[in-house]
Chains A and B, each alone.
Chain A
Amino acid sequence: MTDAIVLATVLDMNAAEPLKAELLARRGQPVTVDASNVERLGGLCLQVLLSARKTWAADGVDLTITPQSQGFSEQWTTFGASETNVPDPLAQDPLEGALA
């Protein structure tokens, strides 16, 4: 079954490590990340999420970020991360293809 993770309101530097641990604990299973509470998304947490996306894609498992708060998707876009991602399952990332 699909496991769910609810993201904290503020995803700053201090949230990166716990988030990574939380995600890692669910490696290998499909995960839905709930970003509906997110107000602030920092660069380090972005990294964790992008890395998770990569990892899950490599494992061939689904990882979805939904639902998303407006703040989250805006900042996600600000970071230039939107091209390859939102809101679809991330396995079909074109960049991933280039990397493979």
Chain B
Amino acid sequence: MDAFEAIKATFFQECDELLAELESKLMLLEQGQTDLETINAVFRAVHSVKGGAGAFGLEALVRFAHVFETLMDELRAGRKPCDTVTIKTLLRASDVLADHIQAAQGLAPPVDEERSAGLVHELELLTHGGEAPPVVEEDEDDFGFVPMAFDVPLDEPLPSLGEPEAVAPEAQTGWRILFKPHGRMYGSANEAGLLLRELGRLGPITVSVDDSALPTLDVLVAEDGYLTWTIDLTAAIEEKVVREVFDFVEADCDLTISPLGGGAEPVLAFEDEPPAVLPASDELDIAALLAKAAGGAPAAEPAPVAVAPAPAPEPEPEPAPAAPAPAPAPAPVAAAPAPVAPIPPAQVAAPVAPAPVTIRVDLDRVDRLINVVGELVIQQAMLSQRVLESGLARSSGIALGLEDLELLTREIQDSVMAIRAQPVKSVFQRMPRLVREVADMVSKQVRLVTAGEDTEVDKTVVERLAEPITHMLRNAIDHGLETPDERVAAGKTAEGTVRLAALHRSGRIVIEISDDGRGINRERVKKIAIDKGLVAPDAALTDEQIDNLIFLPGFSTAAVVSDISGRGVGMDVVKRSIQALGGRISISSVPGKGSTFTLSLPLTLAVLDGMVVSAADQILIAPLPAIVESLTPQEGDLHYVGGVDPVIRFRDRFLPLIDVAMTMGFRDTPVVPSEGVAVVVETEGGQQAALLFDAIQGQRQVVIKSLETNYQQVEGIAAATILGDGRVALILDVDVLVTDMRRRSSRPDFKLAS
């Protein structure tokens, strides 16, 4: 890949991030959060896509992004209201934008010209058409109320500033704003000119620019900020309003807002300065003022209104000349020395808050690192084992050193895992579009609510989540939700809600997909299963068992096979892909109220904290998160249901006691419970059971080695690991053990897909 292609690849990576950002901000807008910051974020995302696309000559993309951006510009300037129609159009435009990017990448065919042109037309209509009502909406930003051109004469009185703030006692007759953008501000696609224009909307302004810090062209860094603007704004408004203009660039510029002509000028403490508008031509005043501050005058130090929110240190190309340091007492401006300095040191010294620095790393390298760390963990365990076997005292230097090594290994492992951890956001963000498209296709009204997007999980898990979630969302909309008419008839709102949530629960990630639709029609599900010969006609099934029928291969309830779901790929595929990740899927449904699918997945596919136990000469690992307590069974606490199935009394409840060695087929005769150890475990669904082992050997972190990859799936076993002595130990799948055991007594005639 040549350099150009590499840059292009980076651009497309960034596009993905920008699109994700775009999508999430548009969702915020949709939820009614139409503040300027959100609109600006959308603008920036589109603008950045456009900028990059322009550099690579991606004409179609640029053209589309430009129209999009133009509308966003209108919105952020407050010239057009951000109403529902607009937002819906923006959402669809973002879809088309994504398609354009895909097409530009060569991943998809060129975007359907008609579709693109249609949206371009819609966007343009919204931008220029004046279709949007001129009424100022409640959620419109604050600037809309001064419909004033920028360069009004200074002496013209301000019309219609009927805002309550205007008469507030602290209102000033105007503000002097010192504004020095950093290069970073431009880098995030903000433009000083637009900010000035926005200020101009607040009232008459006089702008002067101080280019004294500007170096000659040969040493100029084009992406850096050198200029300082002084803006005198003559408008009786609150400081807050002025500050809002700079709201989202505040971190990327030096900003000082002081009352115009009042007694609070940072350095010039003129009590009697008339509150007049300073003419723009007195640049030298400001320059002198700055020079004075830079000259080290102590008076500059306690500047009462200097606000410089975390500016980055600026290279000072022209160090402040050693101006004759004026006395702390205020000195008349005119007497101040002529040499000028760019920025008062008080601002430069402000705390630095640099943006987080990230690098892009080839995933292969991370994977290699993870593999090696996995080996390190195993090797470290082996070493400990050897030391133990050699009979060294526990307090010996070597043993102590090993303990430290273990802690370090652990830390390395955690850090490496953290590198791979990613929020599920990247998957969740693809879903709103899917929901929109599916809803359109089946003519239903759907609202997608997401929660827990920031939940982190291993990258491999994140990547493989997309497909099952996509499938289940489609199902929820197509099968779960009713049509608007049906919903209204059932006393619900016409718009259905699908909820997608992620959360951490006992060391696993849980994804819930729920809808408020009609729920599972158990009668129909059972009938179909019988018709298809999946269950015997006379089988007595519990509700739960019927619900689980939909996971059987070849099951589809859609009466009409639609475009969306029921393409012959059913929930069985979802279940299989979840299981391949070491996860489980469960379903709960209330007729008329809706269904909830719950996916539970391990956070990582690499390591696990486990309890090492033995059963019939086998070493097994019980996942620590599932374990509640361990105890030695007392004869008096044991009971036998129906004379066969043992249960154990545990905190005034009876739990099934499962002899693991028996269940797994390691031996044929049950162990005497009082001679073993019972470990109380809890499943994903909250069921508790006691597992009976021969002995507990310890607790350790194990590196998971997939059984499916290396051998095949074994019921009751989640994976395997290599112990310190080189032996292979099996990691138990507690949920399967418990539920499997439960089912034994009432095993139905069909085999539940498990």
Q: Which of A's residues lie within 8 Å of B, judged by CB?
A: 12-14, 16-17, 19-20, 23-24, 27, 40-44, 46-48, 50-52, 54-55, 58, 75, 77-81, 83, 95, 98-99
Complex: chain A residue closest to B189, CB-CB: A13
Q: Is the CB of B218 within 8 A of A43?
A: no
Q: Bits for B146-160, please: 1 = Cβ < 8 Å to A, else 0.
A: 000011000000000
Q: Bits for B198-218, please: 1 = Cβ < 8 Å to A, else 0.
A: 001000001111011011111
Q: Is the CB of B181 within 8 A of A80?
A: no
Given A78-B150, A78-B200, A80-B208: A48 and B222 interface contact (C-beta under 8 Å): yes
4 closest A-B pairs by beta carbon, nearest first, are A80-B207, A43-B192, A16-B222, A55-B216
7 A–B contacts from the bound complex (CB under 8 Å): A20-B222, A23-B217, A24-B218, A47-B227, A50-B227, A79-B207, A83-B283
Complex: chain B residue closest to A49, CB-CB: B217
Contacting residues, chain B, for A24 (C-beta < 8 A): 217-218
Identify A42's interface contact among B186, B281, B339, CB under 8 A: B186
CA distance A50 to B206 in the complex (A): 19
CA distance A13 to B252 in the complex (A): 15
Q: Bits for B482-504, please: 1 = Cβ < 8 Å to A, else 0.
A: 00000000000000000000000
* CB-CB contacts below 8 Å: B315-369 with A: 338-340
Q: Is the CB of A12 within 8 A of B51?
A: yes
Given A78-B197, A95-B283, A98-B338: A48 and B212 interface contact (C-beta under 8 Å): no
- CB of B7 to closest CB in A, whole Å: 13
- CB of B228 to closest CB in A, whole Å: 10
Complex: chain B residue closest to A20, CB-CB: B222
- CB of B192 to closest CB in A, whole Å: 3
Complex: chain A residue closest to B197, CB-CB: A78
Q: Is the CB of A44 within 8 A of B216?
A: no
Contacting residues, chain A, for B151 (C-beta < 8 A): 77-78
| 11 new A-B contacts at CB < 8 Å, known A44-B225, A51-B220 | A13-B186, A17-B223, A43-B193, A47-B225, A48-B222, A51-B226, A79-B192, A80-B231, A95-B283, A98-B284, A99-B340
CA distance A46 to B227 in the complex (A): 9
- CB of B252 to closest CB in A, whole Å: 12
Complex: chain A residue closest to B287, CB-CB: A98
Q: Is the CB of A12 within 8 A of B191?
A: yes
- CB of B73 to closest CB in A, whole Å: 10
Q: Is the CB of A78 within 8 A of B51?
A: no
Contacting residues, chain B, for A77 (C-beta < 8 A): 151
Complex: chain A residue closest to B210, CB-CB: A95
CA distance A52 to B489 in the complex (A): 72
Q: Is B309 an interface residue (CB 8 A)?
A: no
Q: Is B64 an interface residue (CB 8 A)?
A: no
Q: Is the CB of B192 within 8 A of A51?
A: no
Contacting residues, chain A, for B211 (C-beta < 8 A): 47, 50-51, 54, 81, 95
Q: Is the CB of A16 within 8 A of B223?
A: yes
- CB of B232 to closest CB in A, whole Å: 10
Q: Is B275 an interface residue (CB 8 A)?
A: no
Identify A79's interface contact among B193, B215, B284, B287, CB under 8 A: B193
Q: Is B55 an interface residue (CB 8 A)?
A: yes
- CB of A88 to closest CB in B, whole Å: 16
Identify A43's interface contact among B206, B208, B227, B340, CB under 8 A: B227
Q: Is the CB of B54 within 8 A of A14?
A: yes
Q: Is the CB of A41 within 8 A of B193?
A: yes
CA distance A23 to B220 in the complex (A): 12
Q: Is B696 an interface residue (CB 8 A)?
A: no
Contacting residues, chain A, for B189 (C-beta < 8 A): 13
